[in-house]
């Protein structure tokens, strides 16, 4: 009988355990490094957009053309989907505790209303893409190659039906000249990016680079 057999067996089990732990650590490290590299690559490929806002036609009153071009980076050949949305003056409009007063607006009406000076003209947009009925956003589901642009149409917003004391002129004066937009750019291999921007329409035409500094 080999008196060392139990010791050798225990040593073998310990060695196997150490090897298993080492293999697990190696896999974990590799997974983390892959995730880090993927995130670094995604950051490098963050889209750069050129956004231009101008009167739709000479002398047009309250109707604007918005042009959105993909201008970089060179390693990003295209976008597979681009959603453009109008942001409210405050990101929590219609959120939190709410109690309707008399014949005032419902919480859903407050959420749906566009709280800014401009919205997309409903049912307009590039190619087959169309703005929703509220003029809140346009989803472009086709490929946008590097160096190409998409045209959109904007129009003045109106005060809510419950704002009986506000005229159109008063509403727009209260809203100010700044359009707040959000771009959600997507690529099937690299993921998605959220890119907010603000455009001051006090003097047009105006062009901004996104991301903004």
Which residues have a Cβ under 8 Å from the Cβ of 29 and sit 6 or more positions away?
Answer: none
pLDDT tens, position by position, 130-154: 999 999 999 999 999 999 999 999 9
How far is the C-alpha of 177 from the C-alpha of 184, rounded, in Å? Answer: 23
pLDDT tens, position by position, 108-123: 999 999 999 999 999 9
* Percent of the chain whose pLDDT exceeds 90: 64
* Verdict on whether the full-model pTM lies above 0.85: no
Give me the chain's average pLDDT, please. 88
How far is the C-alpha of 90 from the C-alpha of 179, rounded, in Å? Answer: 12
Residue 45's pLDDT band, with cuts at 50, 70 and 90, is: confident
Q: Where are the domains of the chain?
A: 1-43, 45-210
Report, as an integer, the average pLDDT of 83-101: 87
- The CATH architecture that domain 45-210 belongs to is Sandwich (2.60)
CA atoms within 13 A on the CB side of 98: 14
Residue 17's pLDDT band, with cuts at 50, 70 and 90, is: low
Beginning with the edge strand found earlier in the chain, give each strand of the sheet holding 149-156 in spatial order.
118-120, 149-156, 63-72, 48-55, 206-210
CB atoms within 10 A of CB 47: 24
How far is the C-alpha of 51 from the C-alpha of 95, rounded, in Å? Answer: 30
């Amino acid at each position: 009988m080999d008196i060392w057999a139990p010791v050798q067996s225990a040593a073998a089990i310990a060695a196997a355990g150490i090897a298993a732990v080492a293999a697990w650590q190696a896999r974990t490290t590799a997974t983390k490094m892959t995730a880090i590299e993927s995130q670094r690559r995604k950051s490098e490929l963050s889209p750069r957009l050129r956004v231009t806002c101008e009167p739709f036609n000479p002398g047009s009153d309250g109707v604007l053309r918005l042009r959105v071009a993909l201008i970089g980076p060179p390693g990003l050949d295209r976008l597979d989907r681009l959603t453009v949305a109008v942001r409210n003056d405050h990101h929590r409009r219609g959120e939190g505790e709410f109690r309707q007063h008399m014949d005032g607006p419902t919480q859903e009406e407050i959420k749906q209303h566009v709280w800014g000076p401009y919205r997309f003209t409903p049912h307009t947009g590039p190619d087959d893409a169309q703005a929703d009925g509220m003029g809140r956003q346009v989803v472009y589901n086709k490929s946008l190659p590097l160096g190409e642009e998409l045209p959109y149409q904007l129009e003045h917003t109106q005060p809510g039906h419950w704002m009986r004391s506000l005229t159109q002129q008063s509403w727009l004066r209260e809203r100010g000249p700044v359009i707040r937009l959000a771009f959600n750019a997507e690529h099937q291999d690299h993921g998605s990016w959220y890119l907010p921007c603000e455009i001051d329409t006090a003097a047009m035409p105006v062009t901004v680079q996104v991301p903004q500094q």
